[in-house]
């Protein structure tokens, strides 16, 4: 979607719709006047959840949409993100080529932040995920319009064009990931994951290389091979590099990319198994981050690594009890073939570490237990670098992709010691501290470098929709990690 900023007073807005988020008890004078003219003072106070559409045939904009934001002291940027989503739903119903947004610059809240969040919500809500419907279904978004909006224009006095562009890039990068994540495992195979990475690399002039199964064997990437062995679709390893200039701080991003996780020989129960097509979200989220870094020309060197594989049971698959060797030479006893993500990450993280980046960040739908820890409301984080984890917490609040830290006590490392190999891929048979022991397993492969681990298993799927994210893949993490990388290079 096109987004833009136009410096002009609100009276001069020329659009199909003008959207105005309003704080309770602080309606702008001109809004109060219009309400009075229409005799609608009682219909709108600015309370949260309230909205009012007024047809105004005499104005240059034919409809005014007021959105209640609640009280000023309770106002957060997330409220504006929700308002953006809500606004999109409302105006796309009526057929809208050009939608204008005006936010009162005089409020106490950070004005630019409010504009950015609104634009994010609006663009996120605009993504349609009905690509596999052969007949267009009438949705509640298509009363008179086609469920689309041509353009969103922010109008006001303060020039926020940069912020509008940034918010658009972030939301579009998130949408790019949501779109790819939706693809099922018969389409998004490991080799197709590699093709998408190559395509992205080409578009943004990023160096991208794909390593075949044969090359993985030569490199000694026993984890990715062990996971992919049971599938007829061959595993691959991908490296992609974005370099924003010379001699910049180097961050390694490592993603989990299981195109389908059946559990392997330790087969999962049938219920809910279809959702395991989303087990590639970690790597996709990082592809979205790479896209955003390139679009925004962030001065950083970022390298993305992922091993893509399909985890299937077969006469040739890895069996519980098998012992394998990861890229860094450590031996792993595979006690449960369903703990496959950490096997792939073992190779990819130790490979990333061999390039000696200043920080490694891995992102994975690693454990169902992440959902037990935080519910669907946050990302489980583990880190060996306090300044990085503090920055993640801050960026989490700002983007509302919140993270919460878990401990890295020695006792958890003891839980993954194997009797016969260096480590085992299962902390305890009954799942005790499942999210933490999975993180501690990854830590074994970081070579002692500063490291942040994000287990996104709890947030990668939207089950109860909010105003800007409907049911389906969320691609949460794109805005969080992009915002982290931008602040991280500033501090370097």
Angle at 126 between CA 13 and CA 394, to 5 degrees: 90
Q: In the 8-state DSSP scheme, what is residue 10?
A: G
Among 80-88, 159-167, 182-190, 331-339, which window interacts with ligand BES (CB under 6 A)? Answer: 331-339
Bridge-based pairing state of the strands 423-424 and 17-22: unpaired
Question: Is the Cβ of residue 79 or residue 282 nearer to ligand BES in the bound state?
Answer: 282
Among 6-14, 258-266, 295-303, 408-416, which window interacts with Mn ion (CB under 5 A)? Answer: 258-266
Residue 367 binds ligand BES (CB under 6 A): yes
Among 112-120, 204-212, 237-245, 360-368, which window interacts with ligand BES (CB under 6 A)? Answer: 360-368
Residue 255 binds ligand BES (CB under 6 A): no
Site for Mn ion in 332-391 (CB under 5 A): 338, 340
Among 112, 196, 241, 279, binds ligand BES (CB under 6 A): 279
Residue 234 binds Mn ion (CB under 5 A): no
For the record, the structure tokens of 349 come out as 């993280």
Strand ranges, E, within 186-235 = 207-211
Residue 460 binds Mn ion (CB under 5 A): no
Ramachandran region, residue 261 (left: φ > 0; alpha: ψ -120 to 50; beta: rest): beta
What long-range pairs does 429-432 form, CB within 8 A, spacing at least 24?
431/369
Among 27, 457, 467, 475, binds ligand BES (CB under 6 A): 457
Site for Zn ion in 303-342 (CB under 5 A): 341
Dihedrals φ, ψ of 78, to 5°? Answer: -60, -30
Count residues contacting Mn ion (CB under 5 A)? 3
Name every residue whose Cβ is closer than 8 Å to that of residue 270 and which is 6 or more positions away in sequence: none
The binder of 166, among Mn ion, Zn ion, ligand BES, none, by C-beta within 5 to 8 A per type, is none
Residue 310 binds Mn ion (CB under 5 A): no
DSSP string of 332-366?
EE-S-TT--HHHHHHHHHHHHHHT--SEEEEEE--
Count residues contacting ligand BES (CB under 6 A)? 14
- Determine the Cα–Cα distance for residues 23 and 73; give it in Å rounded to an integer: 10
For the record, the structure tokens of 121 come out as 């919500």
* 76 a catalytic residue: no
Q: In the 8-state DSSP scheme, what is residue 17?
A: E
Distance (Å) of CA 363 to CA 18, 46, 333, 380: 39, 39, 23, 10
Residue 259 binds ligand BES (CB under 6 A): no
Q: Which helix (H) or strand (E) segment is 424 a member of?
A: strand 423-424
Question: Is the Cβ of residue 16 or residue 455 nearer to ligand BES in the bound state?
Answer: 455
* 73 a catalytic residue: no
Residue 434 binds ligand BES (CB under 6 A): yes
Question: Is the Cβ of residue 31 or residue 438 nearer to Zn ion in the bound state?
Answer: 438
Residue 261 binds Mn ion (CB under 5 A): yes
Among 87-95, 157-165, 338-346, 354-362, which window interacts with ligand BES (CB under 6 A)? Answer: 338-346
The binder of 457, among Mn ion, ligand BES, Zn ion, none, by C-beta within 5 to 8 A per type, is ligand BES
- Determine the Cα–Cα distance for residues 411 and 347; give it in Å rounded to an integer: 24
Active-site residue among 219, 268, 330, 486? 268
Torsion of CA 284, 116, 72, 22, to 10 degrees: -110
- Determine the Cα–Cα distance for residues 313 and 228; give it in Å rounded to an integer: 10
The site for ligand BES (CB under 6 A) is made up of 261, 279, 336, 338-341, 365, 367-369, 426, 434, 457
The site for Mn ion (CB under 5 A) is made up of 261, 338, 340
Catalytic residue positions, numbered: 268, 342
């Amino acid at each position: 979607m096109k987004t833009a900023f136009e410096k002009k007073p609100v009276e001069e807005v020329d659009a199909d719709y003008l959207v105005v988020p309003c704080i309770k008890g602080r309606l702008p004078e001109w809004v109060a006047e219009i309400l009075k003219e229409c005799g609608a003072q009682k219909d709108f106070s600015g309370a949260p959840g309230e909205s009012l559409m007024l047809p105004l045939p005499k104005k240059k904009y034919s409809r005014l949409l007021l959105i209640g934001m609640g009280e000023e002291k309770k106002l957060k940027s997330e409220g504006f993100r929700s308002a953006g989503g809500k606004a999109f739903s409302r105006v796309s119903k009526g057929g809208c080529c050009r939608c204008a947004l005006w936010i009162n610059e005089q409020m106490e809240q950070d004005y630019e932040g409010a504009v950015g969040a609104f634009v994010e919500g609006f663009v996120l809500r605009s993504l349609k995920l009905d690509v596999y419907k052969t007949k267009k279904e009438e949705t509640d978004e298509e009363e008179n319009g086609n469920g689309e909006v041509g353009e969103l224009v922010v109008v006001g006095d303060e020039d926020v064009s940069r912020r509008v562009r940034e918010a658009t890039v972030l939301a579009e990068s998130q949408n790019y990931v949501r779109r790819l994540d939706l693809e099922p495992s018969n389409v998004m195979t490991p080799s197709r994951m590699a093709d998408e990475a190559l395509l992205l690399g080409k578009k943004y002039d990023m160096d991208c290389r794909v390593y075949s199964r044969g090359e993985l064997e030569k490199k000694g990437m026993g984890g990715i091979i062990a996971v992919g062995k049971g599938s007829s679709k061959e595993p691959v390893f991908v490296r992609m590099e974005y370099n924003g200039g010379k001699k910049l701080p180097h961050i390694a991003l490592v993603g989990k990319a299981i195109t389908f996780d059946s559990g392997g020989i330790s087969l999962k129960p049938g219920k809910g198994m279809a959702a395991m097509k989303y087990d590639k979200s970690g790597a996709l989220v990082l592809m979205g981050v790479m896209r955003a870094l390139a679009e925004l020309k962030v001065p950083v060197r970022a390298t993305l690594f992922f091993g893509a594989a399909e985890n299937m049971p077969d006469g040739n698959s890895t069996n519980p009890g098998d012992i394998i060797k990861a890229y860094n030479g450590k031996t792993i006893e595979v006690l449960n073939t369903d703990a496959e993500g950490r096997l792939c990450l073992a190779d990819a993280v130790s490979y990333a570490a061999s390039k000696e980046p200043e920080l490694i960040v891995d992102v994975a739908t690693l454990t169902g237990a992440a959902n037990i820890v935080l519910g669907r409301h946050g990302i489980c984080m583990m880190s060996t670098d306090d300044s990085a984890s503090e920055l993640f917490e801050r960026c989490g609040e700002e983007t509302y992709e919140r993270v919460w830290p878990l401990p890295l006590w020695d006792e958890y490392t003891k839980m993954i010691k194997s009797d016969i190999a260096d480590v085992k891929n299962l902390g305890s048979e009954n799942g005790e501290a499942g999210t933490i022991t999975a993180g501690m397993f990854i830590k074994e492969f970081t070579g002692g470098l500063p490291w942040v681990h994000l287990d996104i298993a709890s947030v990668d799927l939207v089950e109860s929709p909010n105003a800007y994210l409907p049911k389906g893949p969320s691609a949460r993490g794109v805005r969080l990690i992009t915002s982290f990388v931008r602040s991280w290079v500033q501090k370097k």
